[in-house]
Every structure is written in structure tokens, then in C-alpha cells.
Structure 1
């Protein structure tokens, strides 16, 4: 049922997204990202240069805010914040890709840029009219050159293969020459690693963590979407990937407890609500299975965010701190630094839906586990065969 009341959940979501993303975006716009972003590192941080953290922050933040920035300007409080962030995001990209910029990002060395170039490419696919088309030609050429520079390094033989694929898919989408083998390798190899019922292996083996959501499903579906548009694959290849993602999203919704918590399993749990990128993208695409009321996902994810984003999540200047629910640097993995944490923004993708969409406009609804544990009727659950 639709409600005519102002949706407080949406207000909470966009204000929280703005709070998380603004330190990255505003500093990038003013050329002070390197100057002001703290470089907190895991206690077991490896030998990679901490400078990769700046590109991590940029790529991951842009991937999360992109759908929200696609909405048209308006005079609401939300609209004003969104317009400000969109303007600063474009300005920030032009700044950091300019010659002699103090915020120049690292592309020429290390393997980590393979990852976060992919998130930046993903943001351009999600919001071409908001984030790519407004850029000046010099900035566009600098970004294209930076992405092509990565071809001298091979992705690791796991989910990283999709980072190469989606970066090439973006280049394909704008008519640039592509590395066809790099484009194909991710989608071909990950399909060979598919384990069934919505789960891909992260490499030959299944890993019980959130990498199917952090990377695999969103990048698989969107890479194949570009390839389908360019007639490089047939529709069934895309449809199978989408059905698998939908099945995985069903599992994600059921994993949210009645109290609005979820299991802290696997590595990279410091990415916080980025664990729900796959479910959030299915919502954004309007592809939730019909047995799931969109409002139940909204209510579940809202409570998760309220449980997670407490004051100790942020430092005194508003930057995310290492941790899961608070400041817990000891749980950060060896590749984790401040910039890594901005994967959290990718759970905010439904903000790309207008306020009158059923996800936002439907009355509050209880999610599956809340129904199940209060003796209410809830839908049966079945595996898929594709």
C-alpha cells in the first residue's frame, strides 16, 4: 500500500550517504583529498603503497553515489544536497586528472588500481549523464588513458578478473578500442566457477564471504549488459546472470535478522554495508522477485544502517574509521586502509529511485526473518537450477 506521508527512511538514507561521501567528494573538489584524508592502515597492512588508498576512496565512493546523482535537480533539501554533490564530483574528477594536481591518483604502478579503476568505471556506467558526459574532453582522455594503462598488469585469478572486464566494458560503451581478451576473461572464467543457487566461486573454490556482492554479481551483470547492448553476447547470457543475482539477493534479504543485523562473515567486513550491494542493485533495477515487497527490503536495510553507523564509525572530521560496527582497527585485513572503507556507499544504490517509487513510497513492511521469528506467514524458499 502506498502512503502519502513523507518517507523518513529516505531522508535518513540520503543524509547518511551525504555524511559518508562528502569528505571524499568535497575534498576532491577543492584539491585537498591527499592533504586531508587520513591514511589509517590495518595493523597487518602489506607492502603496497598507502597512496593507493586515495583511488580506493574515489572509485568506491563514486560507485555508490552514482545512481543518486542521476535524479533530476529540484528545490528540496535532498535535491540541493544532491546537486551540490554532483557539481563537486565532476569538479573533483577534473581536478584530480589535471596535470600537476596535488590529488593525482595512482594508476601507473601497483596492482590495486586495477580494482578501483573498475569501481570508477562502474560509476560511469551507472551515471553517464551525471558523471561522464559533463567532464571536459581533457579529463575524459586522461581517464581513458589511465584505464588503458592498467593493461600492463594482470588481475589476480579470482574475482579480480571482473575488474578488468568491467573497465573494458566501460571503454566499449564509449566507443574506445578494447582489450577483448581482458573483457571476456572475467565473465567466461567466473561462469566456469559458478557453484549453483546464486553463488559464484571466488576462484575455483567457494568462499563464504560477501564477495559475490562486493564484486561478482554487480560487475558480472553490468559487464554483460554492455556486451548485450553491443551485440557481443546473446540475451540468454545476460538473463542467466540476472537470475543468479536475483537468487543471491533473496538470500541476502533473508540473512538480515529480526533485529536488523547480519553475520560478520569472511574477509573485508570493514566494507560494512557494501556487503548488500547486490541486493541494493536488484532493488535499483526493479528486479526484486515478486514475493518480496520492496518496502520490506527498505525497512530491513534501514535498520541495518541504524545499527551500524554509530558515532564511533566516524572520526572527528567525519572520515570512516577501520571497523565493522564502530572503530575496530584490529579486524581490518592486510589490504585495508581508509579509502577501502568507502565500499560502504554501494548499499545506497536505491537512492537512484525517485521518492515516489514503491521502494520508498510503500508503507513499512516486515522482512522475512522478522516474519519467521514472530510466527507470521512468510514465503517458501527454493533453489534455482541455472
Structure 2
């Protein structure tokens, strides 16, 4: 699809895969900013973008438009050494003056005060973007402001230090505000306390493998890259703090060893977790690693991933005919939004423009593009700390994430809430499919049906993960949760193991404590009838029929307005074991699933699968859990 602003000609000598150069990134930033600024209020304090208002109200949404576009403008100007060809900073300076005025009777532009997250929280989120924008552009904006405006801006920003954030990555917003204030000589005990508090919490959230939980629960998602790594690494980089840069940077490097594999050959990030309308912000961690030197990737591979992600969305309708980012994924997609999503929310995508902090002569821009990790070889990578299993196939460029550890359930919430969270509760996600909407049949889901009710998967308890050459596994257990009655069935428990072998997924489940007359359903990947993808599912043991039934998902996914999902059905009572093969592929010549396995044995909680031609053998023992895979 075309975008409503002009880009330079593609350069396939320097960037053989994407054609994008630094000039393309500058042109995209300029085009998005020009379009957004057409919606500015007269005093430049609010950008009132079109679309459904968020739960925070229209004035907060207008502040969000100012703050998030300011971040893109700041990266654009700072990365060019202060060159501001479009006079952006003058507008942001005017907006800062108008937004921090004391509200009067005729005032329509002053910013909402920053209060506790459960009272008026959204301005605290935006304070971080305002502070970071001011820090990046300090020589050309902050230092030229009237002293009174600087004082008012400081007072507004300090609201973030004096109020309670949400119990997750939000603590990095006052951390970022405090970092700016200290960088301009306005630090004190209050700023120091905000920074110490955030770093202490961050340390407690680190789980290993380069992954942070987003708070005290087990939410592992894109917030790792565009928040939990970005703010502390960028803060240390801007401050020239070598010790902090080394500590935070090493974790970023480790994170990128797995996260860089989570982009498909078409540039798409994995479609899982919340706030996906931020789109190409997912590449921010990759670019930040290149800018700061904390990355396992070469400069050419880093740019391939970042430019591939940017181009993926520009080519697929993420920008409207008015030049604005829509609320959705490719185009508008209501089912993928959260209640806090407002018209300007997509502009957290501005974080991707951290790439522009690499000056024009940096290797990130001058090195020839190299293959992204998914383009180098088939990969299976287990991440025991977050409980994730990554499976990438080079031939079709699809990356799949098998989820045995991320659930977004807060510790104080328990596990009995019966909502289906499509972006955390499903067993698998990919770079080519999205979860079906709540209310439709759930894709990649095991459900227990008893007493006329069906279960969802809420709290996920990881049991382990591991990998070898060309294969890997991850396992978890959960207590099925039901709506429309008592949420839990006493003693009911499901243990799940996924084994990735090449492009195949062996899905094994043991159900314990199922009431008499219960049944079980297992679904595969959701795809549309016109997509060049094949979603296959085949029952190996414990199903009424090994061939699945196709089920409709009328609300579709972020890729297709209408989807179908393969579904197996079986009976379960007491203890039972159920095995199935699943696959998602764009290879039209792929071997049918019934031909992928020669032999299946199930005996007393132990399963053994002999793959086609005796090429490999997988053994799963549930108690104690043990997964082995031998070749030949």
C-alpha cells in the first residue's frame, strides 16, 4: 500500500533486503510528524488526533499526541546534531509553555496534572516522553526557554515523582523524569529517591535470559524492549555513566540474543502481548543495542531487523490516507486494543526512531544489510526463565512463540478470574497470525468442557524448557478456570508440553482430575481463507477423530477479517493423555501431518513419538517431567 508522503528511492545496494537507508527513516519521521501537527491546538500543547477517545479523556489524549510525537522529533533532531529543518522544536517549546500554564477560566490547553495511576494516571506515562524529549534536545530547546517556563515544566514533571505509578514498567516513567531533571542541574533527594526506587524494582523483576517480568507477575512481552530495557540503557548512555551502561547494557545484549529472532522474514514482530498498536516500536531495543554497542548483532543485521519492521507496517496500511498511524496492527483492528488505547497511542511507535541517534556515519547506517536471524537458518530456542520456546523456519520466514510462562496475571488477582485474554493465555503466537478475538473460538487453546461450561487458561506455571540441535521443548501446568459458575473444579489440573521439531509442533497434554463426562478440545492456528498459509492439526492419541473440524472465527484476526481454526475433540475423565501434531507453514509442499510420524506409544503417563523414517524419537514423561529427543 502507498503512504501519503514521499520517500527516497530504495537503495538495494546498501540495503538489499529492505531498500531502506537513514534517509528513509528521516522521511518517515518527518511525514508522520507533519501529519500529526495538522491536528494541533492553537497553543501547540495538544495534538487532537481522530479516533475513539481513551478512558482518560480527550485532554489527556491530546497530551499523549504532544508527548509521543515529541519523542520522534527529539530523536530526529538530536541524531542530526541539532539540525531542525522543519522548525519542530519551536512548536514543542510553544506547547510546553501553553501546557504548563495554571488553568484559567478560558483555558483549553493546559495539561492534566499527574496524579496516582488509579486516579489520573495517563499523564504520568506521557511525562516520560516529555522528559526524554527535553533531555535529548536540551541545547536547542530547554536552554532557550524562558526561566518561568522551565520552572513550570519542572513543577508539572515532578508530579510523576510525587504520585504512585502502576505496579509495573510505570516506575520507569518517574525514573526518566528524574534523569532529565538531574541532567539539567535540577536534581535533589526527590529525584534520587525516584531513581533508586525504580532500579530496585527493576532488579526484582529480572528473571534471567535477558527478560524482565513487567511487574511482580509473569508478563513477558514487548514491554521488555520498548520500556524495561530502553529507559535504563538510554539513560546511562545519555549520562555517560559507564558502570550503569555496562550493567544494563549486558542485559540488553542477552535479551537481543533471543528477541532479535522474534521478527519474521517479512519484518513483522511477534504478535503477542498488549499494546501491539505501538507496532514498529518493537524494533527499538534492536536499534538501541546498535547505538550503544550492547548487541550480539552486526550493524547490518541490526538495520535489517529495524528497517524490516518499519517497512512491514508502512507497506501494509498502518498509515492512513491522512498520514496518521491508526489504532490497530496493519490497518485498524479494534479487537487488539486495550481500554487505555486512545487516538495518539500508536505514536509510542516513535521509540523506533531511537535508531536516528546513530549519526549518518555510524556503521548501523553504512554497513551493508545482512540477513536477520530468521533468514540465516532454522532455529529452535528455549528460554527457561520466561518459559518461552521460539521456533523459526527459514524457508517461509515464520517465527512461532510457544507460551509456557507469560500470563499477565498479577499475584494479588489470583487465578480464578474467568476472562480469556487472547494476547497472553494462548499456547502459541506467530509473526504471521494473530489470536482470535474474545468471544470467538480461541486459537491455539486447550479447553476442558464440563457441566456445560468451558475453561480458559489464566495463570501459567512453567515446568521447564530446553533445546538441542534443531529441536526444543517447553512445559507448564495450569488450573482450568470456568465462567458461569464456580470458577475452579477441585483437583482439576492440566499439564502441557510443546516439542518443536523442524516445522512441526508436538503438543502433549495430561489432564488430571477431570469430572465424569468431561470432554476436551484443542485448537490450532487461525488463518484466513485467502492467506497463503496452511494451518494443520492432527490427533495422535486421545481424540475422538484424528482429523480436526474447521471452526469459524467471524471477527478474524489482525491479518484477516474472517478466520477458521482447526479443532480436535476428545473425552477425558480422571487422568488422560492427549497428543497432537500442529503446524503453520507457507510451504505448499509441506509433508501432511499424518505422514510426519511413524509410531506413537502412550503408557502410564509416558509418550513416545517416532518421527517419519525413524529420523528421530521424542519421549515425554510427565511425572517426573522429562523430555528427550534422539536422532536416528
Scaled to the shorter chain, the TM-score interval is 0.7 to 0.9
Query: Do structure 1's residue 346 and structure 2's residue 351 form an aligned pair?
Result: yes
Aligned residue in 1 for 2:31: 19
Q: Is 1:68 aligned to residue 76 of structure 2?
A: yes
- Indicate which of 330, 336, 341 corresponds to 2:341: 336
Structure 2 counterpart of 1:284: 291
Q: Which residue, out of 207, 222, 241, partners 1:210? A: 222
Greater relative CO, 1 or 2 (CA 8 Å, sep 6+): 1
Which residue in 2 is equivalent to 1:194? Answer: 206
Q: When the two structures are superposed, what TM-score results if normalisation uses the length of structure 2? A: 0.52
TM-score normalised by length of structure 1: 0.82
**Residues 356-384 of structure 1: CA deviation (Å, up to 9, x unaligned):** 22111122322221121559xxxx9xxxx
Aligned CA distance change for structure 1 residues 4 and 52 (closer, same or farther; 3 Å): closer
Rounded Cα–Cα distance in structure 2 between residues aligned with 1:166 and 1:33: 21
Aligned to 1:383: none
CA contact (8 A) 2:269 2:282 kept: no
Task: Decide which structure has greater helix share.
Answer: 1
Is the contact between residue 69 and residue 130 of structure 1 (CA under 8 Å) also seen in structure 2?
no
Partner residue in 2 for 1:106: 112
Distance in 1 (alpha carbons) for counterparts of 2:288 and 2:340: 25
8 Å CA contact 1:159–1:216 kept in 2: the answer is yes
Quick one: structure 1 residues 175 and 355, their matched pair in 2 at CA, closer, same or farther if it must change by over 3 Å?
closer
Larger radius of gyration: 2
What is the total number of aligned residue pairs between the two structures?
A: 357
Q: 1:184 to 1:25 in 2, by over 3 A?
A: farther
Deviation of 1:130 after TM superposition, in Å, equals 3.5
Structure 1 residues 28, 19: CA separation in 2 closer, same or farther (over 3 Å shift)?
same
What SS does the aligned partner of 2:344 have?
Answer: helix
Single out whichever of 10-19 and 260-269 deviates more from structure 2.
10-19
The reply to whether residue 115 of structure 1 matches residue 121 of structure 2 is no
**Equivalent position of 2:269 in the other structure:** 262
**Residue aligning to 1:153:** 163
Aligned counterpart for 2:96 among listed residues 93, 96, 102: 93
1:334–1:27: structure 2 CA closer, same or farther, 3 Å change rule?
A: closer
Matches within 5 A, 1:224-303: 224=236, 236-289=243-296, 292-303=297-308
The match for 1:37 among 37, 43, 49 is 49
Give the gaps of 5 or more residues in structure 2: 1-12, 379-393, 396-468, 470-632
Offset at residue 58 of structure 1 (A):
2.1
SS at match of 1:322: coil
Structure 2: distance between partners of 1:60 and 1:338: 11
Deviation digits for residues 130-164 of structure 1 (CA, Å, limit 9, x no counterpart): 34223332221111010123344211221111112
Distance 1:241 1:287, change over 3 A: closer
CA positional deviation for 1:238: 4.1
Partner of 1:384: none
Return closer, same or farther for 1:269/1:4 CA change in 2, 3 Å cut-off: closer
Correspondence for 2:140 among 127, 130, 137: 130
Q: Secondary structure at the match of 2:207?
A: strand
Pair 1:197–1:20, CA change in 2 (3 A): same
